[in-house]
Amino acid sequence: MSRCSVVTMGRLGVDHIAAVEGLQGPVSIDRRCADLPELIAVCRAGRADAALIIGDTDQLTATVLHELQGEGRNVVVISHIAQERGRLQRLGVRSFPDEVSASDLALALRGVQAAEDADPGSAGPTPGHSNGFPYAAAQVHHRRELPSPEQPSPEQSSPAPFLPERPSPAARRDARAEGRNAAPAETATPAETPTSAGAAAATETAEAAETTQTRTAVGLGDLHDAASGSGSGSAGGITVVWGAPGSPGRSTVAVNLAAELALHGSSVLLLDADTVAASLVAQLGLMEETAGLARVCRAADLGRLDVAALHAATTVVQIGGVRLDLLSGLPRSQRWPELRERSLTAVLELVRVHYEHVIIDVAAPVEEDEELSFDTAAPQRNAATLACLRLAERLLVVGAADPVNFPRLVKAVEALDPSLGGVPGVQPEVVINKVRSEVIGRSPRDQISQTWLRIGPAAPIAAFLPWDPAGCDAALLTGQILAEAAPNSPLRRGIARLAGVDLPVRRRGLLRSGRR
C-alpha cells in the first residue's frame, strides 16, 4: 500500500490531524501550513499527494482549487457550514462536516470513495435547471435592467455544476424549447449564504446595489414587423465575432447581429467579452456600466452560478417591443484577471442552454505566451478570447477593406490556431467590412475576391458589408442600433443577411416641390 503525503491547514473543534495520524495507516500528515499561500506553495513544489483544508474555506475559488488539484492531487475540505460544503462540492471537491470519522477522511485523502461519505447537509451538483429563464422573469416595462430577483430555495432551483457536460445541439434545442414553455418559477425566501472575503465580496456588493438603468423610448411601431421578413434565421448557439487588430467593426457587427436576431423573434444574449476595449454599453446607449460578465464569472468561480445569478447580472434592452439581454463588459481593461477561462467556460455552458443565440464580441489578441515569461502558473491575458473561440459554434472573422486592414485580416486568419476554431467542423466565416471604391478602386468586391483567392487563407469570404458612415454615425449619436437609427441602411441589410433574415424592400415616395 503506497504512502500518501498530506499537507494541511486550519483547525476546527475536532483535531482531525491527530485522528488521522492515530490510524497509523498509509496516510501521513507531513506539514501544517499557516495560511493558504503557504499551502499553495507547497503543492506547487510537488511535495504532497493530497491537501486537507479545515475551516478556512472563504478564499477557495475554482481557480485556487484547480491549482491545488494539479498533478492529480486530491483536495479534501472540512467545514462546519452546510452551504459552504455544498458550494465546494459543486466545484468538484470532496467536503465533510466536522464530525467526519478519521477512517472516512483517510480514504478521501487517498482518493477512495467511501460507502457512506456523502454529506446530507450539502446539495450536490445537478445537471439542469427547472425554471424557464429568461422568459420566467418579471415583465419588462421599457427599462434596461431588471431588479435582482429573490434567491430561490434549493428545492425550486438547483445550482448549476461548475463545468457541466456539453450537451449535443439537439439536446440544447430541446432544453431551450422546454424552458420557453415552462411556467414562471415561484419566488422563495432568500437563503442565507456565507459572505466571501476580500475585494471580490466588496465589488459584488457594490455592483448588486446599482440602480436600474433607463433608455429613452423611440417610436418603432412596425420595427418588429419589418424585421419579420423571409428567411429562416441562423442555426443558433454561440456565435463569436472576432477579427484582426484595429477597428474593423467587430462591435458594430456583433450588436446589430444580435438585434436583428431578437427582432426576428429569437431569444438572444449579447455578451461583451472584449477585455481590451469593451464598447457595447456605449453603443446601446446605457447610462452606466455594470460589468455583468465579471459578476457571473465571479459567481462561477465561487461555485454560486445559477439562473438567478445570471438573471441578476443581465441588462435588458428594449428594441421595438422585443427584449435583447446583455452581459456588459469590463469598464476598465485592468480588470481582465476577473475573466478566468474556467469561470467564463462555465458561464457559456449555462447561457447556451437558455438562449437560442449567444452573440459574443471578443478582442483581437489570441497569443498564449505567459508561460514563457513566468516560472509558475500565470493568468492568461487573452483567456476570455481563447475560451470563447474554443466554444464557438459559429465564428465570424471581421476585417476592413483597405490597404492597411486587409493584410492584417489575412495574417490573422492564417495565424488562427485550428484548435481555437470552436467545435469540430466549424469553418471561420470571413466578413469584409467597410467595402468602398474610394480606397479600393472600381469594382471593390471583385478586386478583394481575386486578391483573397490569390494570397488569402483557405477560409472563404462569407459576406461583404458596405461602408455606411452616415448610418453608423446616426446610431452612435443616439445610442441606438441601425434598425432604430437607420432602418433602410445598406449596412443593416448586410448584417441582417448574416443573421439569416431577409428584410423587405421599402420604397420611399418621391416628394415633388414647386412654387405656387
Contact 413, 457 (CB under 8 A): yes
Contact 29, 6 (CB under 8 A): yes
pLDDT given for residue 270 in this prediction: 95
Q: Which one is predicted more confidently, 215 or 473? A: 473
Q: How far apart are CA 476 and CA 256, in angstroms?
A: 12
Amino acid letter, 76:
V
Classify residue 100 as left (phi > 0), alpha (psi -120 to 50) or beta.
Answer: beta
- pTM for the full model? 0.69
Rg (CA), the chain: 26
Compute the average pLDDT of residues 438-445: 88
Compute the average pLDDT of residues 488-511: 78
pLDDT given for residue 470 in this prediction: 92
Ranges of beta strands (E only) in 334-393 are 357-362
Compute the average pLDDT of residues 397-425: 81
Instruction: Give the model confidence (pLDDT) of 139-151 as tens digits.
Output: 333 333 333 334 3
The answer for residues whose C-beta is within 8 angstroms of residue 305's C-beta and 6 or more apart is 159, 160, 162, 296, 299, 346, 347, 350
pLDDT given for residue 2 in this prediction: 79
In the predicted model, is pLDDT for residue 327 greater than 90? yes
Compute the average pLDDT of residues 74-88: 88
pLDDT given for residue 118 in this prediction: 46
Cβ density class 287-296: b for 16+ within 10 Å, e for less: eebbbbbbbb
Q: How far apart are CA 280 and CA 214, in angstroms?
A: 16
In the predicted model, is pLDDT for residue 170 greater than 80? no
Domains of the chain: residue spans and CATH: 4-109 (3.40.50.2300), 199-498 (3.40.50.300)
Instruction: Give the model confidence (pLDDT) of 217-228 as tens digits.
Output: 344 444 554 454
Compute the average pLDDT of residues 404-425: 78
pLDDT given for residue 175 in this prediction: 53
Q: How far apart are CA 102 and CA 106, in angstroms?
A: 6
Residue 477 has phi, psi (to 5 degrees) of -65, -40
pLDDT given for residue 146 in this prediction: 36
In the predicted model, is pLDDT for residue 365 greater than 70? yes
Compute the average pLDDT of residues 477-486: 89
Compute the average pLDDT of residues 390-397: 92
pLDDT given for residue 144 in this prediction: 36
Of 386, 409, 389, the closest CA to residue 399 belongs to: 409
pLDDT given for residue 250 in this prediction: 92
pLDDT given for residue 206 in this prediction: 44
Residue 172 in grid coordinates? 440544447
- Rounded to the nearest 10 degrees, the angle between the axes of helix 469-478 and helix 490-498 is 90
Q: From the CB of residue 44, how many other CB atoms can be counted at a distance below 10 Å? A: 16
Compute the average pLDDT of residues 249-258: 93
Q: How far is CA 205 from the centre of its chain?
A: 20
Compute the average pLDDT of residues 311-328: 90
Compute the average pLDDT of residues 187-193: 35
pLDDT given for residue 117 in this prediction: 46
pLDDT given for residue 479 in this prediction: 87
Instruction: Give the model confidence (pLDDT) of 31-55 as tens digits.
Output: 888 888 888 888 888 878 888 988 8
Contact 7, 30 (CB under 8 A): yes
pLDDT given for residue 192 in this prediction: 37
Q: How far apart are CA 264 and CA 227, in angstroms?
A: 6
pLDDT given for residue 271 in this prediction: 94
Q: How far apart are CA 94 and CA 453, in angstroms?
A: 56
Compute the average pLDDT of residues 482-497: 91
Q: How far apart are CA 143 and CA 422, in angstroms?
A: 34
Compute the average pLDDT of residues 208-217: 42
Amino acid letter, 297:
C
Contact 491, 481 (CB under 8 A): no
The listed range with the strongest mean pLDDT (114-123, 187-196, 507-516) is 114-123
pLDDT given for residue 74 in this prediction: 87
The answer for residues whose C-beta is within 8 angstroms of residue 338's C-beta and 6 or more apart is 291, 294, 297, 298, 330
Cβ density class 185-222: b for 16+ within 10 Å, e for less: beeeeeeeeeebeeebeebbeebeeeeebebeeeebee
Compute the average pLDDT of residues 269-295: 88
Q: Over 429-451, what HEC string results? A: EEEEEEECHHHHCCCHHHHHHHH
Compute the average pLDDT of residues 257-267: 92
In the predicted model, is pLDDT for residue 509 greater than 60? no
